[in-house]
């Protein structure tokens, strides 16, 4: 854990398929992650026990939770309860800021 994290402190992690993430800051209770998507990239449907808030920093996405789809663009946000199946498709290249609670230990291993 770092109290202060600069842009240069953390490297992009390539996830494949036109997506990459950068862990911004975290402690045992909460985590901030920047996720960048190319046009057409897909965040495959998945679930995890962590609650999540996603904020659309830029671009446009179709976000789906438990089969319900909604198009989101810069300035929009969404809450995903832990255990819910969710994912997204990037319609216009952009970036999401994801907040997880508790933090995603699987992201730092």
Q: Where does 27-104 show beta strands of DSSP type E? A: 31-37, 42-46, 51-65, 68-73, 77-80, 86-101
Question: Rounded to an integer, what distance in angstroms lies between the CA atom of residue 38 and that of residue 51?
Answer: 25
Both tokens of 25, joined, read 């800051």
Centre a 10 Å sphere on the Cβ of residue 53 and count the other Cβ atoms it contains: 14
Q: 9: pLDDT confidence band, cut at 50, 70 and 90?
A: confident
Those residues with Cβ within 8 angstroms of residue 47's Cβ, 6 or more apart along the chain or in another chain:
83, 84, 85, 86
Of the candidate ranges 7-11, 19-23, 92-96, the one whose mean pLDDT is the lowest: 7-11
Cα three-residue angle 9-106-51, rounded to 5 degrees:
100
Domains of the chain are 19-107 (2.60.120.10)
pLDDT band at 104 (very low <50, low <70, confident <90, very high): very high
Residue 2: is its pLDDT beyond 70?
no
In the DSSP assignment, the letter for residue 74 is T
The confidence score (pLDDT) of residue 43 equals 95
Question: Can you give the pTM of this predicted structure?
Answer: 0.91
């Amino acid at each position: 854990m770092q109290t202060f994290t600069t842009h240069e402190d953390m490297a992009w992690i390539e996830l494949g398929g036109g997506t990459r993430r950068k862990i911004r800051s975290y402690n045992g209770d909460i985590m901030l992650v920047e996720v960048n998507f190319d046009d057409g990239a897909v965040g495959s449907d998945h679930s995890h026990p962590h609650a999540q808030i996603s904020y659309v920093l830029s671009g446009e996405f179709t976000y789906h939770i438990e089969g319900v789809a909604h198009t989101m663009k810069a300035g929009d946000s969404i809450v995903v309860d832990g255990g819910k199946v969710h994912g997204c498709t990037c319609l216009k290249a952009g970036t999401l800021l994801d907040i997880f609670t508790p933090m995603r230990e699987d992201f730092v291993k």
